[in-house]
Amino acid sequence: MSSIAKWADYETPFVRQRYNRLAKFFVFFEWLFLLPRGIRSKAVSRLELKRGSRVLEVGCGTGRNLAPLLEAVGAEGQVYGVDLSDGMLAEAEELCTRAGWRNVELMRADAADYVLPEPVDGAIFSLSYAVIPHHKDALRHSWNQLRPGGYLVIMDAKLPSGMLGKLLYPFVVWTSRLTVLGNPDVRPWDELRAMTDDVDYEEAQFGTYYICRARKR
Reply yes or no on whether the pLDDT at 182 is more than 70: yes
pLDDT at 5: 62
CATH number at residue 48: 3.40.50.150
* Predicted TM-score of the model (pTM): 0.94
Which residues, in sequence order, are CB contacts of 191 under 8 Å at separation 6+? 135, 136, 139
Share of the chain above pLDDT 70, in %: 98
Q: How many domains does the chain have?
A: 1
Range of the structural domain that residue 92 is part of: 11-215
Reply yes or no on whether the pLDDT at 4 is more than 70: no
Distance, in Å, from the CA atom of 191 to the CA atom of 184, rounded to the nearest integer, reads: 15
Residue range 148-169: mean pLDDT, rounded:
96
Residue 3 falls inside a structural domain: no
Residue 168 falls inside a structural domain: yes
User: 103, 36, 114, 34: which is closest to 67 by C-alpha?
Assistant: 103
Task: Name the burial class of residue 98, with classes exposed (0-12), middle (13-18) and buried (19+) by CB atoms within 10 angstroms of its CB.
Answer: exposed
Residue 35 falls inside a structural domain: yes
Residue 103 falls inside a structural domain: yes
Mean pLDDT of the chain: 95
76-94 tens-digit pLDDT: 999 999 999 999 999 999 9
Share of the chain above pLDDT 90, in %: 93
Q: How confident is the model at residue 46 (pLDDT cuts 50, 70, 90)?
A: very high
The DSSP symbol for 113 reads B
Residue 6 falls inside a structural domain: no
Beta bridge partners of 126: 155
Q: Angle at CA 38, nearest 5°, toward 161 and 143?
A: 70
User: 212, 129, 190, 203: which is closest to 160 by C-alpha?
Assistant: 203
Residue 5 falls inside a structural domain: no
Residue type, 18: R
